[in-house]
Each structure stands twice: as C-alpha cells, then as structure tokens.
Amino acid sequence: MITKINVYFCRVNSLAEENYLKAMFSLSNDKGEVNVNDLSKRLEIKMPTVTSMMKRLATKKLVHYESYKPLKLTDKGKKEAALIIRKHRLTEMFLVEKMGFGWEQVHEIAEQIEHIQSPELFAKMDELLGFPKLDPHGSPIPDKNGTMVWVAYNKLSECKAGDTVKLSAVINTSAEFLKFLNSRELSLGLKVKIKSVEPFDNTMVVSYGKRLSETLSHTVCERLLVEKV
Amino acid sequence: MITKINVYFCRVNSLAEENYLKAMFSLSNDKGEVNVNDLSKRLEIKMPTVTSMMKRLATKKLVHYESYKPLKLTDKGKKEAALIIRKHRLTEMFLVEKMGFGWEQVHEIAEQIEHIQSPELFAKMDELLGFPKLDPHGSPIPDKNGTMVWVAYNKLSECKAGDTVKLSAVINTSAEFLKFLNSRELSLGLKVKIKSVEPFDNTMVVSYGKRLSETLSHTVCERLLVEKV
DNA sequence: TATTTTTGTTAGTCTAATCTAACTTAATAT
DNA sequence: ATATTAAGTTAGATTAGACTAACAAAAATA
Ligand SMILES: [Mn+2]
Ligand SMILES: [Mn+2]
Ligand SMILES: [Mn+2]
Ligand SMILES: [Mn+2]
C-alpha cells in the first residue's frame, strides 16, 4: 500500500482567489473592514458568489468571516494581498521604465502578470529597476514581507491659492484619466503653482512648466495627490 | 425588452485550451496527426479528459475529431497554437537577452507568460529584441501570422569524426540538460570539432574553445542540433 | 414604531476541467 | 484465427467558480 503524500505545503491561491484578496485589501477602510456589497461591485461578481468565496477564504485562514458582519482579511490574507500588489506594481514600473510603455497602458497588463508564479521574475524586475519604492502612479510598492509604507499626501483640491506643490501620485489610474493628464503635460514630480480657486465650483487655475494658465476641474484636482514645497 | 448582445466576436481560448493546442502542435508528426494517448501523457491529463476536450475544440473549429481516428488541428487551430508558441519564444528571448536570465531558467516562466492577453506586450518585446527569428534554444519564433520556418539541422550524433560543426539548437530544453551544457561551456553558435567517435557506444570526443578534449555521450549528442561548416 | 429599502444568505443550477470505473475498438502476439 | 494488450470512449462523480430566485437580517425612512 503506497500512500501519496502532498509535499507542497505552500499551496498557492487561484487567480480568482488572488483577485478577491487584492480587492479586499484595496477596499479596506481604516478598520480593515469591507462589505460584501462593495466587493461585489468592485469585482463585478454577484453577492452570493462573493459570500461563498469568503467562506472558502475563511477555511484557508485568509479571511475572518461571520454572517452579516463586515469582512476582514487575516494577517495572512493581508500579507498575501500585499505581495500580489507588489507584483502588480513592480510590473507596472518595469513596463514603463524598461520597456517604454506609457503609464496609461500598464495597468491592464499588470493585472494579468501579477498572477505569475515566479519569485525569480519579480526579483529580477526589482533588481533591474534598482529596488523602486513607488510605482509609475506614485503608489508605494510593498516590500518582500508585504509591508507597505504609505506616504501622507494631500489632495490638490485641498490646497489653497498661492500654494506651490509637487505632483506626487494619482488616485484614479484609469487610462482615460491618465491620457487626460498626458494631454495637459501633467506628470509626477512636476511643480505646480495654484494661481486661484473658483469658489463656486472649486475649479483651480494653475501654472506649471511652460503652461502659465491651465484650468483644472475639481474632479481632476481631487484625483491628484501632492506634496507641499 | 432589452436583449444583451455579445460584441466580443473573438472569444479567447482558456488557459487549458491553449495548453492542449500547443501540445497538439508540438506532438504533430509530418501528417499533422496526434494520438489521444500521446497528448494524455504529454499534458499529464487522463485520456477521457483529453477526449472530452477534443470534442470541445472540435465545436470551436480548432480540431478535426472523429472517434477512434488520430487527432488533427484545423488550420485555425494550427495558427492559434503557433501564435501561443510565438509568445512563449519571444518571452524566453526577452528574459535571456533583456533581463539576464540563463537559458535554463526561462521555460517555466514562459509557460505562464505565453497565456497573457496583450498584443502590445509581445509587440514591444519583439521590437526591443529587434524582431528575432530564433529563441534562446535555437527554435524558430513563428511570425505574427503563425508561420514557422524550420531550418533543417543535423543531430551532432549523426556527424562523423573529422567534421567541424556549429552548435545551432538543442532538442531537449530541460533545465537539467541545459545546466549540463553550461557546465561544459557548450552554447549556441559554438564551433565544435569531432575528434573521434567510439564505435561501441557512439560516444564522441570533441574539441571546442579552450576545451581540447571533451567526451560527450550519445544521449547528449542526439539532443544537439548542428550545422556543417 | 412600523414600513420600506438595502444588504447578505441559502438553495439550486450551470459550465469548465478534472477524475475513476467500465466498456469498446483497434492493434499485437501467440 | 484467437487471445491478449493497448488505445479510446462513455457514463458518472467531483470541485471551482460563476449565476438566479427566494428568503432573512439589518439599516434607513416614514
Ligand atoms: Mn495598476
Ligand atoms: Mn488580476
Ligand atoms: Mn520553452
Ligand atoms: Mn502554458
């Protein structure tokens, strides 16, 4: 009688499971809680499916699940989610810095490559990039232990007329928004001076580079993170 | 009454389907035929599963299927298979040439990346590599239409004492074999002179580079493809 | 507080992709 | 030619991951 023994202790998660973990991580509020409904909307997956996946992830010790209570990632779940985000952001950085893609082109590709199982591949990207701390959209890249250091930026929309700030990150990373920023020559690292703020609709008139008077809607200013200089 | 219409005509194949297509392509003989049994062994998937997948691929017009007859890819199936192989080999080339991996490290990674859906990614690899015709193991990279040009190499084992040949490709691309070649400083493009062939076991004594007398087993010589010079 | 709306769960269905057991057809050996 | 073995198929089970319909709990509103 031969008994087959599974020697692969570190069973990896499926693509679907990884996408749930990542979505939970990024939707978590300060309490680390997520609602079934929010997850359902984010993933475009119906609520009953989310519930059943949460039960599965709970048996894998990745999620704390109790009926009708908000969902929480366990420490293990948080770490695994952060490591997927690490792969996502390293990939985006690699695509931009080493392959010449625009920052508006890389998210969709990274959404797939983040699921590749190859520590060597991502270690090599990291090395070739010189161990970057931020991705092309200014978001922090978690380290190998899944630790993510958040820098406390301000929204441009919360700054006042007369302030001079440095563009440091974007909140929305949709291709449309990034293409809009490209069209205005707005990129990370840029110094921007706020000339005036329209009190009625919070539209801002700003100057930067060769552009001495550009008007940015509140919607845009809310999605730009800056540092005071 | 609103009717939902599927506008995505070019439904992509699943990862499983792609792996079957690729395996069929590479197992096909000169007649373009494969047996269920061979496919089953190659993919490490039981025969009934293979049969049912063949029926699915037949409904998708990728495979000609008739009970108890050998399997054949349709022209469409051949093209799709070749385009996956194109992605695989472009990836291997990129990993070796642009990221500094060894030729023995890249197959496993390419096995995953070949399934990424992003024409832009592979077009960029192709461009950065200067539109290569061969992968790091000397195998031809199919073009964008799925056309693959085979060069007729000889096996080193079929050459005679006194011949001088150029190492052009490897048949076996297992990491073990490639590491063995590394250990003997054998790489593609190398000029090798055959000093003698042992009649008993077909072992060859060869010289190349700074190595004036290396002994290669028949097993090794059978897996090395060469051009006469 | 009572009603309505929103959120979440349960139960049951479906497809993809795998398996085993049993059977059939084809190939090989005696 | 017959018996045996190998190859291939059918039938039925299983799991992951999705869905809808119906119901239950919680939150919001009147
Ligand atoms: Mn992204
Ligand atoms: Mn993803
Ligand atoms: Mn390969
Ligand atoms: Mn593959």
pLDDT in tens, A204-220: 999 999 999 999 999 99
A67 touches strand C (CB under 7 A): yes
Kindly state the helix (H) or strand (E) to which residue A26 belongs, with its residue range.
helix A15-27
pTM summary value: 0.92
Binned at pLDDT 50, 70 and 90, residue B10 comes out as low
Nearest nucleotide by C1' from A18 CA?
Answer: D17
Q: What is the mean pLDDT of residues B190-195?
A: 97
- Asked if the model's pLDDT at residue B54 lies above 70, the reply is yes
Distance B163 CA to ligand 1 centre (A): 56
Where do the domains of chain B lie? 15-73, 82-150, 154-228
pLDDT digits (tens, 9 = 90+) for B74-120: 999 999 999 999 999 999 999 999 999 999 999 999 999 999 999 99
Q: Do domains B82-150 and B154-228 have the same CATH topology?
A: no
Q: Is B113 on the interface with A (CB under 8 A)?
A: yes
- Note the pLDDT of residue A200: 94
What is residue A10's predicted lDDT score, i.e. its pLDDT?
A: 56
Residue A8 has pLDDT above 90, yes or no: no
Phi, psi (5° rounding) for residue A167?
-65, 120
Residue B216 dihedral angles phi and psi, to the nearest 5°: -120, 130
pLDDT of A1 over the 90 cut: no
- CB within 8 Å of B22: residues ≥ 6 apart: B81, B84, B85, B88, B114
- Please tell me the predicted confidence (pLDDT) of residue A3: 39
Pick the CATH number of A82-150 from 1.20.1730.10, 3.40.50.970, 1.10.10.10, 3.40.50.720: 1.10.10.10
Whether A46 CB is under 7 Å from strand D = yes
Integer distance in angstroms from CA A47 to C1' C21?
38
B145 Cα–ligand 3 center, Å? 20
Across chain A, mean pLDDT equals: 94
Percent of chain B at pLDDT exceeding 90: 93
Q: Which nucleotide is nearest to B68 (CA to C1')?
A: D8
Long-range contacts of the stretch B123-127 (C-beta < 8 A, 24+): B124/A99, B124/A100, B124/A101, B125/A99, B125/B90, B125/B91, B125/B93, B125/B94, B125/B98, B126/B90
Q: For the domain B15-73, what is the CATH code?
A: 1.10.10.10
pLDDT digits (tens, 9 = 90+) for A92-135: 999 999 999 999 999 999 999 999 999 999 999 999 999 999 99
Burial of A214 (0-12, 13-18, 19+ CB in 10 A): middle
Candidates 3.90.1300.10, 1.10.357.10, 3.90.550.40, 2.30.30.90; correct CATH number of A154-228? Answer: 2.30.30.90
